[in-house]
Amino acid sequence: MSKKIMVTRSSMPPMEEYINEIQSLWDTHWLTNMGPKHNRLAKELGNYLGVDNVELVVNGHMAIEMTLQAMGLKGEVITTPYTFASTTHAIVRSGLKPVFCDISPEDYTIDVKLLASKLSVDTCAILPVHVYGNICNVEAIRDFAKKHGLRVIYDAAHTFGETYKGKGVGSFGDASCFSFHATKVFNTIEGGCVCYSDDAIGEKVYDLKDFGIHGPEEVSAIGANAKMNEFCAAMGLCNLRHIDENIEARKKICECYDDNLKDVKGIKLNRIPSCVKSNYSYYPVVFDPEQYGCDRDQVFEQLYENGIMARKYFYPATNAFSCYEGRFDPNETPVAKRISENVLTLPVYPDLDIKDVERICQVIRKSKN
């Protein structure tokens, strides 16, 4: 068997670059609590993402959870089950009720045509999810939210560095939450951030991430601890220097997949609109078992037997999680259910060899036979 190919691989700078970046920490001993590297990274991320306000946090999940809490929301949040566990868990852990809206079969983001059917007197917000780098219909969501007086918080974990019609994706909604987990396009080992439009949101997120402390003898809010440390910020500073070249490498890999799989009957590839500058974060393939000749799980096994670690991502949909059994019905979101049962994301990372991409495609083409 050839070498094992993982579905993702963390981007890291040259070791010497990271060592050089963290060297000053041995002089200052300033390891956390909004140190110089934390503050520098927040500023540089604001410039790169094209947003005015960035609050760094310990991870992407806490970015969502604390933003919901910072807004003082009560009641129901319209969202999608086609997402990572974090999105739904953040809503529930914040004492709110998720109301699941189905997704578009074209780009897997929330189906804006169904939003009105999910509205109730208890609706307080919408939490849409940008998926695989596909950006939600931000105009329709903006107009719907404005009409009904709702807050909009985007889960933007898949869209770091993307633009829509020339505008940074983090600038949409009342807030956008990013994950900087080790497997993401941009990572700080663990980390995340909230981009926000209203200073009051940023102030409350800050309170929540640092115990509400405003001085040695002043604790004016009830908060938790979700600060990004200096080692993580240093990794972010290094990785940000290489982000454009890494995205370009991802682009070449995705284009290779396109070239090799575009004519295979029974699979749906992801299409990037011309108005979106993509980060090529994932390469999802949706299988139609009748046309393709075998199902997603069989393809998954074939890839695994060839040392290729694809991922059923997202599967199951969050409204089908065992922890929510009896609370939600996944049959109420049939498109999300169908896509989750038929999707694989294929390996994508900057140093993935093009020959390995071609080998992956060969297995998929043979699985059909």
Largest CA distance in the chain: 71
Q: Does a cis peptide bond (omega within 30 degrees of 0) precede residue 172?
A: no
Write out pLDDT tens, residues 323-348: 999 999 999 999 999 999 999 999 99
Element (H, E) at 360: helix 354-368
pLDDT value, residue 361 = 97
- Beta carbons within 8 Å of 105's beta carbon, 6+ residues apart: 335, 338, 339
Write out pLDDT tens, residues 282-297: 999 999 999 999 999 9
Contact between 236 and 186 (Cβ < 8 Å): yes
> How does the average pLDDT of the chain come out, rounded?
97
CATH tag, 243-368? 3.90.1150.10
pTM, 2 dp: 0.97
Write out pLDDT tens, residues 255-314: 999 999 999 999 999 999 999 999 999 999 999 999 999 999 999 999 999 999 999 999
Domain 15-238: which CATH number of 3.30.360.10, 3.40.640.10, 3.40.50.720, 3.90.380.10: 3.40.640.10
| pLDDT more than 70, % of the chain | 99
pLDDT value, residue 3 = 81
pLDDT value, residue 220 = 95
- Report how far apart, in Å, the C-alpha atoms of 154 and of each of 56, 109, 125, 241, 299 are: 16, 11, 11, 26, 32
Domain extents for the chain?
A: 15-238, 243-368
Q: Residue 367: pLDDT band by 50, 70, 90 thresholds?
A: low
| pLDDT more than 90, % of the chain | 98
The answer to whether residue 251 scores a pLDDT higher than 70 is: yes
Average pLDDT of span 16-37: 98
Write out pLDDT tens, residues 85-100: 999 999 999 999 999 9
Q: Residue 2: pLDDT band by 50, 70, 90 thresholds?
A: low
**CA–CA separation, 291 and 294 (whole Å):** 8
Q: Residue 369: pLDDT band by 50, 70, 90 thresholds?
A: low
The gap from C-alpha 289 to its chain's centroid, in whole angstroms, comes to: 28
pLDDT value, residue 366 = 79
